[in-house]
Structure 1
Amino acid sequence: MARYLFTLYCLVTSLTCWSQEFKARSSPLDVISMRYKESYVKITYSQPQKKGREIFGKLVPYGKEWSPGANEAAEITLTKDITMKGFLIKAGTYTLFTIPDKEKWTIIISKDVGLWGSYNYNPKEDLIRFDVPVQSTGDLIYEPLTLKFDQRNDVANLLIMWDRTMVTIPIKFIN
């Protein structure tokens, strides 16, 4: 009985510590996903908040690699092959990086996974790289960094929105 109570005590203590650590994050974890037939796409990232700060060009410098989010680098998992802006990406898990600029962002899909932010970004691990234009959201301000899929059957757009900035990345499922 004592061993049972000790095991239960250890389990509860571990879960409580893990729960408190998870709640302490100022940039909460978020997961977005979409499906088409047997294809599934999931992106895991953390959502930093604007908090009155100037985001692009200051907090997120122009011309420097950035994985959208905070904490761990944003990862995209595919169960089937897709194309992004016409570039083939095979099923698997990858890291999403960007290089923000005023007029365009460079989107990078990297084979390197399990990274913390973009600190250890290695261009030799790039699978694909392409540019997308920057759009303004006008008066709409996205307080948290928000990633969202806008899907219509076998085509979709990945929207990355923060502050008054948005980029759209075209995705197509391959049957």
Structure 2
Amino acid sequence: MLKRILIITGIVIVGILIFFNWFKKDTKKHSPAATANYKEGALDITVNYCRPYAKGRVIFGEEEAEALQPYGKYWRLGANEATTFENNQAILFNEKELAPGKYAIYAYPGHDKWTVCVNKEWDRWGAQEADMEQDVFRTEVKAFNDANFLEQFEISFEPKDSSGTFNMVFHWDKTEVRVPLKNK
């Protein structure tokens, strides 16, 4: 009898694991995984995220306008699992010191500015809001709503300017946000 219970329990557990692996893969075909890298000298930054499509929807806006991502609401900066930011050296992240490590980054988009958050809890999946107690810091950056239309969400890096600052750029629909980064 005990052997039968163990076999049934094992089958159920394997079935659940297969379902969740299939579910994760199936959702990624709608929002494929991507990586943005920045390398200069010994500095190496990697951002892993998933890229949802606009598909004719209102992306950023008021809740009443049925925006996919309403202003002031939590957004994981992509789709599926948490967007991760990994740096191998200390940097300034919009003038805030960030130690080397792996983090989740997320945002609260607004019309003219976004609050971008860096969180210690990077191994999350799904749209649930991050544990704010795990935030390393939050910082505000300007949002520009007159960029060229981009169908699929993208994170990229711009080259260093003469002051040594380089930007991590979030671009989707007609919205573009730049987070200034700098070697420490």
TM-score range, shorter chain: 0.7 to 0.9
Q: Which residue of 2 aligns with 1:161?
A: 171
Q: Which residue of 1 aligns with 2:155?
A: 147
> Cα offset for 1:136?
2.2
Q: Which residue of 2 aligns with 1:25?
A: 29
Q: Which residue of 2 aligns with 1:40?
A: 44
Whether contact under 8 Å (1:97, 1:118) holds in the other structure is: no
CA distance in 2, matches of 1:24, 1:126: 26
Q: Deviations over 1:87-140 (max 9, x none)?
A: 0000000000100011110010001111124404111111011111111234x2
What is the root-mean-square deviation of aligned Cα atoms in Å? 2.0
CA distance in 1, matches of 2:28, 2:182: 37
Structure 2: segments with no counterpart, 5+ residues: 1-20, 62-66
Over 3 Å counting, the alpha-carbon distance change for 1:39 and 1:59 in structure 2 is same
Moved over 2 A (4+): 21-24
Given residue 180 of structure 2, which amino acid in structure 1 is its aligned partner? P
Whether contact under 8 Å (1:157, 1:169) holds in the other structure is: yes
CA distance in 2, matches of 1:167, 1:86: 16
| Aligned equivalent of 2:103, options 87, 94, 104 | 94
Secondary structure at the residue paired with 2:69?
coil
Whether contact under 8 Å (2:28, 2:80) holds in the other structure is: no
Given residue 90 of structure 2, which amino acid in structure 1 is its aligned partner? D
Given residue 162 of structure 1, which amino acid in structure 2 is its aligned partner? W
Say yes or no: does 1:119 pair with 2:123. no
| Aligned equivalent of 1:70, options 79, 92, 98 | 79
| Aligned equivalent of 1:51, options 51, 55, 59 | 55
Over 3 Å counting, the alpha-carbon distance change for 1:128 and 1:150 in structure 2 is same
Structure 1 length as normaliser, TM-score? 0.83
Whether contact under 8 Å (1:66, 1:117) holds in the other structure is: no
CA distance in 2, matches of 1:91, 1:22: 33
Secondary structure at the residue paired with 2:159?
strand
Whether contact under 8 Å (2:157, 2:169) holds in the other structure is: yes
Structure 2 length as normaliser, TM-score? 0.79
Q: Which residue of 2 aligns with 1:6?
A: none
Over 3 Å counting, the alpha-carbon distance change for 1:168 and 1:82 in structure 2 is same
Give percent identity, aligned residues only: 28
> Cα offset for 1:62?
1.2
Say yes or no: does 1:106 pair with 2:110. no
